Structure 1
Amino acid sequence: MDQHVSNAKLTLKKNGKSFYWAGKFLPSAYIDRASELYQFCRVLDDIADSGERGSLQTLKKIKSNFINYKELKFKNNYNLKYPSFFNIYSKKAATHLIDGLILDQSTVLFKEEEELIQYSYYVAGTVGLMMCDALKCKNKEAYLFAIDLGIAMQLTNIARDVLEDAKMGRRYIPGSWINNISPNAMIQGVNDNNTEIFRTVSFGIKKLLNLAEKYYYSGTQGLIFLPLKTRIAISIASGVYRQIGIQLKLKNYCWYNGRQVTSNITKAKVTFFKIIEEFVRNKNKKNHDPELHRFLKEIIVSE
């Protein structure tokens, strides 16, 4: 096995537990490619979150490199490598991913749902697009649904990490949903045990997760474009991630007592039901709901 792929699989096992769990159901060739993609995205994310003064310039340099060259033309300390399966379409998606990470380098205080959905496309919908290429999905109809699955998972991620993000000065929940409560006010609210802050932010998280459900539903409709074994793996990955939101809901959207995690027992239960679900899934292909991409019409990747 190529050393880079071997390292990528170790990274996935260590840092992407939900995806590693689901990856056990992928054919070996696909888990290698998925691991490469995970490590690629992880390295970019590490650069963005490093807090180093040159992070923004590094991201811009990488983006320029994507546009102009087939390989990285400068030395980097992060061992960043293009996944072996990358094509022109994947590279376009990757440049949009970097656009989202560049956005994170400035103050993030979203005001409306439009900003939230566009950001979620940039940092996660694009990963859905690249995953289509990793899984050799030839039907371009699947790409719209893959974007939705990525967006859904990012919305779950945001709901899970509200307090963590606030500590970094970021608020991804639209201000219009939560009376423009600032990140500092969230942190102070936790310190002061402010029930009004708790209640208002919890309402925003509820809206986030309800919105995520629409994108999960659409994303899973697109799984029919994949072969059964691959479909099962992706269904498990999305189901395990969606479980985070379900657990948040069961705890009344409690965002101030630490992150939600899924236990191995819970993962096993989700896996069991997802396998059954995919075996009985309606094989009729569905049309994509254009309303879900109403904020993406001008920016979405196209060939």
Structure 2
Amino acid sequence: MTRPRLLSPSRILRSTIRAPGGGRRRDPLVEKSRKAIEQGSKSFRAASRLFDRVTRERIWMLYAWCRRCDDLADGQRMGRPAEGDAASPEEIATRVKGIRILTQAALDGQPTADVAFDAFGQVASECGLTYRDAEEVIAGFELDAKDWRPRTQDDLMRYCYHVAGAVGVMAALVMGVRRDDGEALDSACDLGIAFQLSNIARDLLEDDAAGRCYLPIEWLVEEDIEPGQHTKPHHRQELADMAARLITLMELHEAHARVGTARLRFRQRWAVLSAARIYGAIGREVRRLGTEAWNHRVYTSRWHKLYHAQAAFWEALVNRPPSPPALPRWTRARLAENIAAA
């Protein structure tokens, strides 16, 4: 009797089929990403509608990945803290390692069982995003998860680079900016940094309630503020002064970022300038309100968003951005050098 012939393992086991988006259909990835931005950022959602359809969908998928990484690093859901004790250093390290593994898998076209990561794999395949691009952003999530604090203004700007400037660079690549167009990528980085500085100024009390402070320790020392006391009522004027410093930095990076928009196509330029006006208005309102800036959350109403979109339309149409008063001290190249040396 002839014995049955066994198949070799190579004929039984097949490697996972690799495809953009982990093999998921693109439309569901876009729809899930659209819902993520609707829940996560009203201002950015409003500006994203001005992009052409393809760019808009790609921006949504990039945002969904950023939001998901942030939540995983912090143990949150859509920016809302999860119940339970603070994570241990080992748990934080495991979370960030998981983000890196899923991101690499998504870039390799492997299914990740997570829509946001599969969406990132999809947009990365369409726009040539790399793991190095992603790692620049993941490093910022890692800082947040570790309850990091900036000691100096240099530290603050490096943080802003990771969590927002590097995202701006990826967004520019998604819009079709070439990798060798350094000036355009520098401007995109500056715009992301400007957004982050505005957010920090607005959310000083919210961050403090969550146990975070993004004001450099050297600023607090200069203002003679006791550790952990910067949001107390008797330090409200000092807090307003430091918020004004943040907005001055924001405006410098914002002005330099506008120069780079001249290189974008009209719809993209319109959307970016709208976002710049919306986030800039939030920061300037914080500065205008002074000590009363945190009596309620500063935001732009729907009508103000429409106004900024209309103003940005004409600005994009004329396409003659004014020269900035000065170049930012913390350029993309300088920040990258400092990070490499750290």
TM over 0.5: yes
- In the other structure, the counterpart of 1:160 is 202
Q: Deviations over 1:58-101 (max 9, x none)?
A: 21232255458734868666853324231665431211111111
Deviation of 1:200 (Å): 1.0
Secondary structure of the residue that 1:104 maps to in structure 2? helix
Paired residues for 1:202-241 under 5 Å: 202-241=240-279
Q: Which has the larger radius of gyration?
A: 2
CA distance change for structure 1 residues 166 and 78 in 2, over 3 Å: closer, same or farther?
A: farther
Asked if 1:112 corresponds to 2:152, the answer is yes
Q: Report if the CA contact (8 A) 1:205-1:253 is conserved.
A: no
* Distance in 1 of aligned mates of 2:134 and 2:311: 33
TM-score, normalised relative to structure 1:
0.86
* Distance in 2 of aligned mates of 1:300 and 1:236: 31
Residue among 34, 53, 63 paired with 2:59: 34
- In the other structure, the counterpart of 1:84 is 122
Asked if 1:275 corresponds to 2:297, the answer is no
* Distance in 2 of aligned mates of 1:270 and 1:282: 17
Structure 1 unaligned runs (5+)?
Answer: none
Deviation of 1:55 (Å): 4.1
Q: Deviations over 1:133-179 (max 9, x none)?
A: 21112234311111000001000011111111112222111122232
Equivalent residue letter for 1:150: G
Q: Report if the CA contact (8 A) 1:148-1:216 is conserved.
A: yes
CA distance change for structure 1 residues 290 and 186 in 2, over 3 Å: closer, same or farther?
A: closer
Equivalent residue letter for 1:35: W
Asked if 1:249 corresponds to 2:249, the answer is no
Q: Report if the CA contact (8 A) 2:33-2:64 is conserved.
A: yes
Secondary structure of the residue that 2:145 maps to in structure 1? coil
| Greater shift in the superposed pair: 9-18 or 224-233 | 9-18
TM-score, normalised relative to structure 2:
0.77
* Distance in 1 of aligned mates of 2:299 and 2:321: 32
CA distance change for structure 1 residues 60 and 150 in 2, over 3 Å: closer, same or farther?
A: same
Task: Give the CA RMSD over aligned residues.
Answer: 2.8
Q: Report if the CA contact (8 A) 2:33-2:116 is conserved.
A: no
Secondary structure of the residue that 1:2 maps to in structure 2? helix
Residue among 163, 169, 172 paired with 2:214: 172
* Distance in 2 of aligned mates of 1:84 and 1:23: 18
Secondary structure of the residue that 1:173 maps to in structure 2? coil
* Distance in 1 of aligned mates of 2:265 and 2:296: 38
CA distance change for structure 1 residues 299 and 182 in 2, over 3 Å: closer, same or farther?
A: same
Structure 2 unaligned runs (5+)?
Answer: 1-25, 76-81
Asked if 1:184 corresponds to 2:228, the answer is yes
Secondary structure of the residue that 1:178 maps to in structure 2? helix
Asked if 1:128 corresponds to 2:206, the answer is no
Residue among 20, 37, 58 paired with 2:45: 20
Q: Report if the CA contact (8 A) 2:287-2:293 is conserved.
A: no
Asked if 1:56 corresponds to 2:96, the answer is no
Q: Deviations over 1:234-263 (max 9, x none)?
A: 110111111111211221253432321110
Residue among 116, 134, 143 paired with 2:185: 143
Deviation of 1:109 (Å): 2.6
| Greater shift in the superposed pair: 139-148 or 158-167 | 139-148
Q: Report if the CA contact (8 A) 1:178-1:201 is conserved.
A: no
* Distance in 1 of aligned mates of 2:321 and 2:257: 15
* Distance in 2 of aligned mates of 1:110 and 1:92: 24
Q: Deviations over 1:89-148 (max 9, x none)?
A: 543121111111111122333221100100000000011111012111223431111100
* Distance in 1 of aligned mates of 2:260 and 2:302: 27
* Distance in 2 of aligned mates of 1:69 and 1:6: 18
CA distance change for structure 1 residues 224 and 183 in 2, over 3 Å: closer, same or farther?
A: farther
Asked if 1:98 corresponds to 2:138, the answer is yes
Secondary structure of the residue that 1:110 maps to in structure 2? coil
CA distance change for structure 1 residues 283 and 273 in 2, over 3 Å: closer, same or farther?
A: closer
Equivalent residue letter for 1:251: L
The percentage of aligned residue pairs carrying the same residue is 27
Q: Report if the CA contact (8 A) 1:9-1:35 is conserved.
A: yes
Q: Report if the CA contact (8 A) 1:148-1:219 is conserved.
A: yes
Secondary structure of the residue that 2:329 maps to in structure 1? helix
* Distance in 1 of aligned mates of 2:144 and 2:110: 25
* Distance in 2 of aligned mates of 1:283 and 1:47: 39
Q: Report if the CA contact (8 A) 2:50-2:268 is conserved.
A: yes
